[in-house]
Amino acid sequence: MKKVVKFGGSSLASAEQFEKVGNIIRADESRVYVVPSAPGKRDSSDTKVTDLLYKIYGLIKADKPYIKVLEQIKLRYAQIIRGLGLKVSLSKEFEEIRKKLEKGAGEMYVISRGEYLNGKIMAAYLGYDFVDAANVIRFNDDETLDAEETYKLMRTHLDAHERAVIPGFYGSKKNGEVVTFSRGGSDITGSLVARAVKADIYENWTDVSGFMVADPRIVKGAQVIHTITYSELRELAYMGASVMHEDAIFPVSQVGIPINIRNTNDPSAEGTMIVERTSRISKYTITGIAGMKGFVSLSLEKDKMNTAIGFCRKALTAFEESGISVEHMPSGIDTMSVIVRQKDFAEKEQQVISRIEELCQPDHMEIESDLALIAVVGRGMRSTRGTAGRLFSALAHSHINIKMIDQGSSELNIIIGVASVDFDEAIKAIYSVFVDANL
């Protein structure tokens, strides 16, 4: 059994958090490759080390002194080292960073140092080898990931280390220049390592006990999802639910390595298992609910639209020409609606409207803004009768008007559109009928 374990910033924010992480790793021999983030916030008023590094870069660009912020970062690491009773010193590393800053280091190099330094401490604390991510994660010249080369480099380098710490978030181009992923990218590093070393499982340790059935800010005490498939996760993530970086899913899902989301502050909780497929029937008909506000629907009406060949295509052309991605397209016999993101549509609306007039000559056109879309997702819906019925009656009981319905052909999700003002109530009503009442 071989596990790759990634720890997020809040799991490594202080010496106390490092100790929890140390206990977790030592409790299981198979946790052989460790991917740390940079130290995160210790409390809500604190600043993440990565954000301090961004600040340094900003100050340098503005020709302002940055030494105070660098001292603040040094202090954060010194406190962790002291708190853990370690003998390591990072003065050599800090000296090198300072020199590079003076020579005009690039932004990605600067912001990657949080993970680099934390990796050094983590390796010393665990007694694991340190493998610099710059040597094993390869980016192309255009800063996209060269996955094949990365796997190759990882296999050669990591084979030589039975147990190693590989800092998250960054890698390098062939010429050695450091490149980072987007924010939260240590999740991707963990996923790439897991795939390269053919891990049995990729554990992603964070500060929540897994992926919740609904956003806990809306549904207080929302339950944790025990097992979710990659496709379900994708549907929910697309609708705004997030526990990890979206790009971290593909490297492991393609080869069927499960991801286990765990809580560093509650290691006995099983967390959420994300798997390719499962025979585990979910506890409820639905697996999760997620949604987003900020959509617009543009509805078109034209007599005999059903026989007007090419009508839909022409309408969609107007959106395509303006570079607007279409989210949904519910249609009736003589009507069709196009649902798009408000922020994409707002600045180009007049252009789209006049193009539709020109191409489609509709009898009537109506725009409705401030819509919210809610995805109700679950592999269990395919085999359960009456899911849609229960969903709609729950919303009716809560006096919520449904503006749009779209059931994906895979029967994995039902998407409904409601007014933004009804968003929270709608999610609560759906949660309550499927989870609280367990119907």
Binding residues for ligand ASP, per CB under 6 A? 9, 37-38, 48, 50, 114, 168-169, 183-186
Q: How far is the CB of 342 from ligand ASP (least distance, A)?
A: 27
Rg (C-alpha) for the chain, rounded Å, is 25
DSSP 3-state of 327: strand
Other CB atoms closer than 10 Å to residue 292's CB: what's the count?
A: 18
CB of 39 to ligand ASP, least distance (A): 9
Q: How far apart are CA 68 and CA 297, in angstroms?
A: 50
Comparison of 12 and 427: residue with beta carbon closer to ligand ASP: 12
Positive or negative, the CA dihedral 250, 288, 423, 44 is: negative
Dihedral of CA atoms 325, 327, 330, 334 in degrees, nearest 10, equals -20
- Measured from the CB atom, is 203 or 232 closer to ligand ASP? 203
Three-state DSSP class for residue 32: strand
Residue 186 vs 413, nearer CB to ligand ASP: 186
Secondary structure percentages of the chain, helix, strand, coil, to 5 = 45, 20, 35
**What residue is closest to ligand ASP based on CB?**
186
Name the minimum Å distance from CB 2 to ligand ASP. 22
**Which residue's CB is nearer to ligand ASP, number 263 or number 413?**
263
* Min CB(345)–ligand ASP separation in Å: 30
409 in Cβ contact with 267 (< 8 Å): no
CB of 195 to ligand ASP, least distance (A): 17
Whole-angstrom Cα distance, residue 87 to residue 81?
Answer: 8
Q: In the complex with ligand ASP, which residue's Cβ is closer, 168 or 288? A: 168
User: By C-beta, is 112 or 229 nearer to ligand ASP?
Assistant: 112
Residue whose CB is less far from ligand ASP, 183 or 313: 183
Minimum distance from residue 327 beta carbon to ligand ASP (Å)? 27
Strand partners, 374: 291, 416
User: Is the Cβ–Cβ distance between 20 and 37 less than 8 Å?
Assistant: no
What CA–CA distance (Å, rounded) separates 90 from 249?
34
CB of 70 closer than 8 Å to CB of 98: yes
Give residues with Cβ within 8 angstroms of 417, minimum separation 6.
295, 297, 328, 339, 371, 372, 373, 374, 402, 403, 404, 405
Nearest to ligand ASP of 11, 387 (CB atom): 11
| Minimum CB distance to ligand ASP smaller for 50 or for 264 | 50
Minimal distance, residue 217 CB to ligand ASP, in Å: 21
Residue 53 beta carbon to ligand ASP: minimum distance, rounded to whole angstroms? 9
Give me the least distance between CB of 201 and ligand ASP, in Å please: 19
Looking at the Cβ atoms of 35 and 426, the one nearer to ligand ASP is 35
Taking the CA atoms of residue 203, residue 157, residue 29 and residue 37 in that order, the dihedral angle to the nearest 10 degrees is -40
Going by C-alpha positions, the residue among 51, 47, 42, 37 that lies closest to residue 17 is: 42
What are the tokens at 64? 């302002």
CA distance 177 to 173: 5
3-state secondary structure at position 28: coil
Least separation in angstroms between CB 229 and ligand ASP? 24
Residue 384's Cβ-side half-sphere holds a number of Cα atoms within 13 Å equal to: 23
CB 393 to ligand ASP: min, Å: 42
Task: Give the residue with the Cβ less far from ligand ASP, 38 or 233.
Answer: 38
| Sequential DSSP letters for 240-299 | T--SS-GGGHHHHHTTT--EEEEETT-TTS--EEEES---PPPSSS--EEEEEEEEEEEE
